[in-house]
Amino acid sequence: MKILIVQDWLRSGGTERQSILLANAFAAAGHPATLLTFRPGGPLASTVAANVARPSLQPFDLRLDWFAPGLLRAVRRITPDVVLCMGRMANCHAGRIQHAFPAVAVIATMRTGKALPLPFRRSLPAVTHVIANSQEAAAELTAQHGVAPARIAVIHNSLVFPDDVPASRREILRREHGARPETVVLLCVAMFRPEKNQRELVEIASALPASPPWQLWLAGDGPARAECEQLAAARGLADRVRFLGFQRDPSALYAAAEIAVHASRNESLSNFLIEAQAHGLPVVACEARGVAECFVPGVTGWTAPHGDRAGFLGRLRPLMAEPSLRQACAPLARAHARQNFDARRQVQAHLDLFERLGQGRRAS
């Protein structure tokens, strides 16, 4: 089965990591896999396996995420059995790919909490099937966009970084950032975009008491980082908030932290929260689509409405004050993540769907 994954650019986001994980896994399972991008390169480009074809449409990086010159010619040249569109820009082109290649199973994906552009919405009734990465995203596809439940498959994100990290690496990293043994490290790993809302985490942190000692680690990069750094300085938190930049593999950060915190306004399913659970971290997060599907609500993770800083702090403070609460969460969090987001299981779910859709199109 020849599988084509379409993605606009290999930036450092969760969807891009999922695209690469799937492409690498499909190729490892013996399926010719191509990861076609609009823009060449990207921070994650080097993580694509050597046995995955990786052409790009722009001859050099024009920094235009939506520009896909020669897309249909490229699809015709690749001759795929299945086309999987990942990310909003790729999904904007899913409908015209399907119209041009009616015998091919073209699959759109719902992986965002942002508003869907008009071309994306127009693609939904045209494609063969839609994959949603959370139950809440699937419900929105039906309620707001009229996609019949029979045309939707829910396949959660896969764990990208499930491996344990040696204790020595954990201690080295904590020392590098000035975290003492008693310091409670709060961690968020996400691109710095306005919707990821790291500003809110800084504001919440500014209301934390000095004891127990704590640090807020914000890993990632993006256009909203500078403003967030300025806010931390303005709140007098320059010595407590660490800006760690883009992390190709954040596993050591999970191992070095005590609690995962997230204030994103737009989600469909958070890769960060899934990875945090896999490393045993309890979660405190603002409510957003799919967030509560990342953990066991009230057992390994807790939410507060957006804007309810007192509620967020009320859920965070007991975890900071009581190591025993965090220790009790850890095995349950690990079990939940590894049972529900195991990469082998999610990859096989994709392949089973592709085979079923392919059989259906051949029969018709």
- Burial state string for 57-86 with b = 16 or more CB within 10 A and e = fewer than 16: bbeeeeeeeeebeebeebbeebebbbbbbb
The pLDDT of residue 167 is 75
Which residues are registered as beta bridge partners of 129?
Answer: 107
Could you say which of 3.40.50.300, 3.40.50.2020, 3.40.50.2000, 2.120.10.30 is the CATH number of the domain covering 3-158+342-363? 3.40.50.2000
The model carries a pTM of 0.88
The pLDDT of residue 113 is 85
State the 10-residue block means of pLDDT for the chain, 364 residues long.
Answer: 97 93 97 98 96 97 96 98 97 98 97 92 98 95 96 94 76 92 96 95 96 96 96 96 93 95 93 94 96 95 96 97 95 94 95 90 62
- 3-158+342-363 matches 167-340 in fold: yes
- Tell me the backbone φ, ψ of residue 210, rounded to 5 degrees: -70, -25
The pair of three-digit structure tokens given for residue 184, joined into one six-digit string: 């409670």
Topology (CATH) of 167-340: Rossmann fold (3.40.50)
The pLDDT of residue 160 is 84
Region at 353 (left for phi over 0; alpha for psi -120 to 50; beta for the rest): alpha
Strands of the sheet with 3-7, listed across from one edge? 33-37, 3-7, 82-85, 105-110, 129-132, 152-154
Strands of the sheet with 283-286, listed across from one edge? 241-245, 214-219, 184-189, 259-262, 283-286, 301-304
The pLDDT of residue 176 is 92
Inter-helix orientation angle 271-278/323-340, to 10°: 110
- Domain chopping of the chain, boundaries: 3-158+342-363, 167-340
